[in-house]
């Protein structure tokens, strides 16, 4: 299987020679050396492979899934005031009727603004493991992206990222907070 992916080249102009191992040596603490923005090229996605297995969750994966597209590192994202966030049931990535209606509005707005790229950010509530919630956030973002692709939005305009349970919208440890944190949010590229 050949996997295409973006490649980024980094360099740093500074080589830090670090002498570790000298007793009592007060080690200099250099500031982080930031690499310059990478040269990023978005490869066209390969054709989606044939489905391998039936889906258990309706609304997820019924559509051919386009591989995720990573936002170039030099792009920043702003809060998308014209696109609504959507919410999910616990441990679910399928779209409710309400979520679909909101995504249709979001898609309509994107159609009116063909030059704008968006990032869909998938989130989970705090319950469950960090790793599973990362995967769940990823699937929620992809679920929203797939649906918007089915509405005619070019999936290459839709970057995705999962934050798992790491970026709750609301603090709190009850269903009131959890329900708001199980979400996919939209940002627009600057």
Interface contacts to another protein, rule CB under 8 A: 1, 3, 5-12, 14-16, 18, 20-27, 29-35, 48-49, 51-53, 55-57, 60-61, 65-71, 73, 91, 127-132, 134-136, 138-139, 142, 160-164, 166-167, 173
DSSP 168: -
Please say which residue, 106 or 146, places its beta carbon nearer to another protein.
146
Instruction: Tell me how far, at minimum, the Cβ of 112 lies from another protein, in Å.
Output: 27
3-state secondary structure of 18: coil
| H or E stretch covering 183 | strand 183-189
Please say which residue, 151 or 161, places its beta carbon nearer to another protein.
161
Instruction: Tell me how far, at minimum, the Cβ of 106 lies from another protein, in Å.
Output: 20
Please say which residue, 48 or 176, places its beta carbon nearer to another protein.
48
Please say which residue, 109 or 126, places its beta carbon nearer to another protein.
126
| H or E stretch covering 118 | strand 118-123
- The residues facing 188 across adjacent strands are 78, 118
d(CA 167, CA 21): 39
d(CA 160, CA 186): 9
């Amino acid at each position: 299987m050949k996997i295409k992916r973006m490649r980024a080249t980094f360099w740093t102009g500074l080589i830090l020679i670090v002498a570790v191992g000298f007793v009592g040596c007060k080690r200099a603490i250099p500031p982080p050396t930031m690499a310059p923005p990478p040269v990023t090229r978005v490869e066209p996605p390969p054709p989606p492979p044939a489905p391998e297995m039936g889906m258990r969750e309706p609304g997820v994966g019924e559509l051919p899934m386009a591989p995720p597209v990573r936002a170039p590192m030099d792009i920043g994202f702003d809060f998308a005031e014209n696109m609504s966030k959507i919410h999910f049931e616990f441990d679910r990535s399928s779209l409710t009727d309400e979520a679909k209606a909101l995504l249709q509005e979001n898609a309509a707005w994107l159609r009116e603004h063909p030059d704008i790229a968006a990032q869909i950010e998938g989130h989970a509530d705090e319950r469950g493991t960090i790793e599973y919630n990362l995967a769940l956030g990823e699937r929620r973002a992809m679920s929203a992206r797939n649906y918007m692709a089915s509405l005619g939005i070019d999936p290459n305009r839709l970057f995705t990222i999962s934050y798992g349970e790491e970026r709750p919208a609301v603090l709190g440890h009850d269903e009131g907070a959890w329900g708001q944190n199980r979400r996919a949010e939209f940002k627009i590229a600057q």
